[in-house]
Structure 1
Amino acid sequence: MSQKDRLRLAVGWITLFLIGTDLFVVSPLLPFISEEFGITSADAGWMVTVFAVTYAVSAPFFGWLSDKKEKGILITCGLILFAFSNALTGLASSFSWVIVSRFLAGLSVASITPLIYAIIGDIAPPKRRGVWLSIVVSGHLMALSAGAPFGTLLEHFACWRSVFFTMAFAGVTLALINFNIWRTVPNNRSRNYQKQGNLLRILRSVSVTTIWAISMYALYVYLGAALYSENQFSSSEIALAVAFYGIGAVLGSLSSGQLTHRFGEHTLSKVTLLLLTITLLAIGIFFSAGGWLYFFLFMWALVGYAGFTSYQARLAAEYPEDRGIAMAWNNTALYIGITLGSMLGGYVITIWGYSMLPFVCAGTAIISFFLSNYKGEK
């Protein structure tokens, strides 16, 4: 790997770390934001909803546009909008302006995240594509365990607005860096996207990600509540459980690159989905088994995010000329799956209780496995 390639990977990693921080840091800041504007925490939660819906709806458009225009320019413009939207959040004098700013933030992230994945897929050597994608994906996941806590700490010493001002400054800085680093990368322009049935094939492919996300987030969203209700975990024990999960997610993403290089993205994506099913069944069986639960939570995230990263590499290989739109639809599929997963999880715990969640998630994981095998036939 050349020095220029290392620099490009580093820029992609840092950019996705910032984007991930913007996504994950809002949740712990909601109590302070709701207190300042005199609203309930449920009302403040619309910040997350507006952001997620805007992202899911607009990402395919930016993916399509990136296959027609220069990805580097779009990423740069997205970062400028990202900086503006976060500055607007920090300056907001009413909650209505906060909602407007999060709408703009959703647009900006939709024009950055899938395009980073796509441009890395464009420049990576075919046999190393999985490794390169695993590196930049780890930047997004690292924000869960490092970026969000840093933002919360900054709020403690300053105020919640300072978090958004800091991200706005970082956005401007990264816009300049990304413009310089990607401007020499030729665009891999789409030639086959207009072929009949190609979009349907892409949508069928990314449906695997939707089902995968349901299997992950139907349980993860309610994990803390389940541990408290079923195992009487203290707050520190819940934090430790989430830490095991976070470590597994980062290691899974990073390790999948080398495993993809060795076994191929098709094989690894299928094997990890099968292992995900087995691990979720184990969590359901051993949910009250004390220390063993930490191990299974670690393994759940390890195989789950190894599968997600390897599947992205698989999509990048299967759609070389439509990489931007494929990655964009894959990210939209991810957000749809997260939303459906949280809804399914709420339904399950209402009807059957927390103990059934891992088994239901295992059922969706095996559906994702079979769907992955079916859609592989072209």
Structure 2
Amino acid sequence: MSKYTVLFFLIMFMIGTDTFLISPLLPTLQTQFSVPTGIAGWMLGAYTLGSAAFALIAGPLSDGWNRRTVLLGGLLGFSVSTALCGFADSFWTMCLFRFLAGVSAAFTAPQVWASIPAIMPAAKISKTMGIAFAGLAASQALGVPIGSWLAGTRWSVPFWTIGIASLLLAAVAFFLLPDMKPSARKAERTPILRRYVPLIASGKARSGFLAYLLLHLGSGTAFAFVGKWMADRFGLTIGQIGTVMMFLGFGTLLGSMISSYATRRLGHAKSVAAGLSMLAVLYTVMPQLANLPVVTIIYLIIFATLGIIFPIVMEALTSLNAFIRGTISSLANSTMNGANTLGAWLAGLLYDQLGGYSSIGIFSAVCLALSLGTFLLGGVLTRKEADTVGQESTSAS
């Protein structure tokens, strides 16, 4: 494993841990700041809002600057804003610092995805993508227990710990990463919105991002209410649900680690096609089951499959245009956050008004089937060197 691979894994682990960290702390923070339940969720939403909104700006900016500088600046801002969360003295200051942490993450995470194809040999891109995604998966599995354990002494300790660790990572990245400057100085003068033109003009790119939206809409809708469904159907406590969630996180970690192996054996298109087809069936069948161990095993398979698919899809998207990888990665980040936000809202409506988790399972299956069809019809997963979209026009702009 190369030094860059380890660095990218750790960066994504820190960002992912910070993302999941506040969930187990929410009841404590709600009491600490005397916040009513109706608005307490904004301590989570502020982070997502900052990340989704500023990713659309961060990506195009990074394509005209030294990508190393953007990543370092984002990581430094992320460490400071996360540490400041530990000093928040009110609900609104916590929301402000969480928003700033999300903004900083928007300048950091997409640079990881965009930097991998720029500095890694072609033969190692898929593997490195999978390991970087494994950092997110590991944070999903470990973020809840780490946050809960550290908060046992004081609620602010987890924020300070992540802030200091991220600062150390920024120092390592400063000495380790090479410069990744844009290939043409003219690109620095390209207006931000114009960087999206090659993607908007390309049918292949439009298909890719629509399929990516449907993929996250399906998986995000199903995940949003899985905890409530398990509580209602199996009578699980919050602690027991957390244990199941940890198990599912390890499934994602396993899938991301074997993603490159699946790609070598089946190829990009067949791996995604097989995975999405199986997921559509499992999401439809699972809500009908009444045995918790069986449901847990099926969800482990689902998350492992998603762990295989996501790095493949991200590699395919960032390969659409080598000149605007930062823009592509940031747009993918915003697409993911937007789909998950919409999915959480739709999940509530479906669960409450249209038959509980069964309707969510059917909706997710339909989204994934449509995602697969869009991926295949759009040719997003084909591997052709001359097939990248808009590169000539981008490099000439």
Query: Scaled by the length of structure 1, what TM-score is found?
Result: 0.91
Deviation at 1:211, TM superposition (A): 1.1
Q: Which moved further from structure 2: 260-269 or 316-325?
A: 260-269
CA deviations 1:184-233 (Å, max 9, x no partner) are 45555697975954334345422222211111121211112112212334
Residue 346 to residue 199, structure 1, CA distance change in 2 (3 Å): same
Q: For residues 50 and 201 of structure 2, what CA distance do their matches in structure 1 show?
A: 22
2:341 aligns with 339
Fraction of identical pairs, as percent: 24
Q: For residues 238 and 45 of structure 2, what CA distance do their matches in structure 1 show?
A: 26
Matching of residue 245 in structure 1 with residue 248 in structure 2 = yes
Select the residue among 136, 154, 159 that pairs with 2:154.
Answer: 159
1:350 aligns with 352
Matching of residue 170 in structure 1 with residue 172 in structure 2 = no
Residue 186 to residue 28, structure 1, CA distance change in 2 (3 Å): same
1:292 aligns with 294
* SS at structure 2 position matched to 1:160: coil
Q: For residues 121 and 285 of structure 2, what CA distance do their matches in structure 1 show?
A: 37
Select the residue among 72, 76, 80 that pairs with 2:76.
Answer: 80
1:131 aligns with 127
Matching of residue 42 in structure 1 with residue 44 in structure 2 = no
* AA of the residue aligned to 2:362: F
* AA of the residue aligned to 2:176: I
Q: What does 1:200-215 correspond to in 2, within 5 Å?
A: 200-201=201-202, 202-215=205-218
Contact 2:20 2:139 in 1 (8 A): yes
Matching of residue 360 in structure 1 with residue 363 in structure 2 = yes
CA deviations 1:146-197 (Å, max 9, x no partner) are 13311210101x2111111112211221111112222345555697975954
2:383 aligns with none
Contact 1:79 1:175 in 2 (8 A): yes
Matching of residue 302 in structure 1 with residue 297 in structure 2 = no
Deviation at 1:282, TM superposition (A): 2.8
* AA of the residue aligned to 2:302: W
Contact 2:67 2:179 in 1 (8 A): no
Q: For residues 238 and 85 of structure 2, what CA distance do their matches in structure 1 show?
A: 30
Deviation at 1:331, TM superposition (A): 1.0
Contact 1:31 1:41 in 2 (8 A): no
Select the residue among 304, 315, 319 that pairs with 1:313.
Answer: 315
* SS at structure 2 position matched to 1:25: helix
* SS at structure 2 position matched to 1:288: coil
* SS at structure 1 position matched to 2:86: helix
Q: Which moved further from structure 2: 39-48 or 158-167?
A: 39-48
Matching of residue 232 in structure 1 with residue 227 in structure 2 = no
Q: For residues 61 and 194 of structure 1, what CA distance do their matches in structure 2 show?
A: 10
* SS at structure 2 position matched to 1:199: helix
Q: Which moved further from structure 2: 51-60 or 272-281?
A: 272-281
Query: Scaled by the length of structure 2, what TM-score is found?
Result: 0.87
Matching of residue 199 in structure 1 with residue 200 in structure 2 = yes
Residue 147 to residue 227, structure 1, CA distance change in 2 (3 Å): closer
Matching of residue 51 in structure 1 with residue 52 in structure 2 = no
Deviation at 1:345, TM superposition (A): 0.7
Deviation at 1:319, TM superposition (A): 2.3
Q: For residues 173 and 59 of structure 1, what CA distance do their matches in structure 2 show?
A: 24
Structure 1 runs not aligned, ≥5 long: none
Q: For residues 264 and 129 of structure 1, what CA distance do their matches in structure 2 show?
A: 14
Contact 1:244 1:297 in 2 (8 A): no
Contact 1:209 1:337 in 2 (8 A): no
Select the residue among 171, 176, 181 that pairs with 2:176.
Answer: 181
Residue 167 to residue 188, structure 1, CA distance change in 2 (3 Å): farther
1:8 aligns with 4
Matching of residue 263 in structure 1 with residue 289 in structure 2 = no
